[in-house]
Chains A and B, each alone.
Chain A
């Protein structure tokens, strides 16, 4: 037999682990000895984009695969699911998503440790509510939600997401109360990205467990209050509604901060930022009223001239 086919099955599965779902499945055509190797690899990686509008095919393949792992008691250690609604699910039920309701509990039963879910719609923000089952998935490791409404109903069955390391909300219609509830249930988070979330007014986060890189740039934000995090300001971002910015033990690029616009900023509160020592920094906040700085040195910060 040739060298690769002769490798032990667990090594071949490790090799297939690094392939996309379609590349891994296609190895079944190589020869008879390859036929079933992909069937038991410990990870699954499905993207609806690969099915180009064949909704039924996508659902049936997902169903079959998950059911097979479940029936054979195989564990799916890592599961990556990327779903784009709108082009695929034309008749997507606005109130629920039966397929996710079915798949997510199956994943939990097959012992998934790392669940990476990317779910987005092509619809306008707020038209489709995120199925509540998503925030009930304890194994969530990465969650990317785009163009959904994330209201109280969507998080009604939220569990403590102790595995969640990365949360990315883009064009999500979410209010402060729901956002705070989510954040308080994922305190081990390492990366938080909040982008274009129209209704979000306040971001208030205290991370008790290490530093979390946070990326914020929704123009709607009025308050940002972050303790213990690595904050990334996007270069040149315009925080046109931000009035209150409070950063405690936060690390951030000074260059990026200087390039941002804070036309409405009134209150700036900084503490525990030793990098500010012996540097000069400019903050474009022409309407600043109150600047509190708690450190053992006096910083050199200049503000934009008042309008």
Chain B
């Protein structure tokens, strides 16, 4: 352990497309999944992360390093997270939220989920469908019935064209 030897421990993570990444243990244990492996003593060799590809893992490690370098200051951490996610497109965010879920990193999971939610805020059904490419598989009658059931939620919605 780092504290005992005096030198920082480095872990090697392997993505599902066989890319290897070195990351300081102190940053990597932001992931509860990795922390458990470290605590169980199974983090000695290469840690395979079967559900994360190299591109996403590189991004997650950038986040791990960035956020763990910030001292306990929730506001600074929040502004780091906002900045980190600001230029990510939806495809990347979807990869990140899956990785954060798999790695059990609640702070990243929440930040990405909130970011995706922000896109949907106050937006009409039609707008959200187009934005995310969601196919409407309701029949017109079914859709009308669901809408009727939740009529109260259709007030104050932006960009209303076809709802």
Question: Contact residues of A with B, CB < 8 Å?
Answer: 1-5, 7-8, 10-11, 14-23, 25-32, 34-35, 50-52, 54, 57, 61
| B98 close to A29 (CB less than 8 A) | no
What residue of chain B has the Cβ atom nearest to residue A17's Cβ? B113
22 sampled A-B residue pairs with Cβ under 8 A:
A1-B135, A3-B94, A3-B133, A4-B90, A7-B94, A14-B97, A14-B109, A18-B114, A19-B117, A19-B120, A21-B153, A22-B156, A23-B120, A26-B154, A28-B149, A29-B146, A30-B125, A30-B129, A30-B134, A30-B136, A31-B129, A61-B152
What residue of chain B has the Cβ atom nearest to residue A57's Cβ? B152
Measured between C-beta atoms, what is the minimum distance from B107 to chain A in Å?
12
Other-chain contact of B157, A3, A7, A10, A26 (Cβ < 8 Å): A26
User: B118 an interface residue at 8 Å Cβ cutoff?
Assistant: yes
| A3 close to B90 (CB less than 8 A) | yes
User: B110 an interface residue at 8 Å Cβ cutoff?
Assistant: yes
| A18 close to B134 (CB less than 8 A) | no
Q: In the complex, what distance in Å separates the CA atom of A32 from the CA atom of B139?
A: 10
Q: How many A-B residue pairs have CB under 8 A?
A: 101
| A30 close to B128 (CB less than 8 A) | yes
Kindly state the interface size class of chain B when it binds its partner: 35 or more
8 Å CB contacts to A: which residues of B103-118? 109-110, 113-114, 116-118
| B101 close to A11 (CB less than 8 A) | yes
Q: In the complex, what distance in Å separates the CA atom of A31 from the CA atom of B129?
A: 9
Instruction: Tell me what chain B mostly uses at the interface: helix, strand, loop, or mixed.
Output: helix
* Chain B residues closer than 8 Å to A52, beta-carbon distance: 155
Q: In the complex, what distance in Å separates the CA atom of A52 from the CA atom of B94?
A: 36
| A2 close to B146 (CB less than 8 A) | no
| B117 close to A35 (CB less than 8 A) | no
Q: In the complex, what distance in Å separates the CA atom of A5 from the CA atom of B101?
A: 16
* Chain A residues closer than 8 Å to B133, beta-carbon distance: 2-3
Measured between C-beta atoms, what is the minimum distance from B69 to chain A in Å?
26
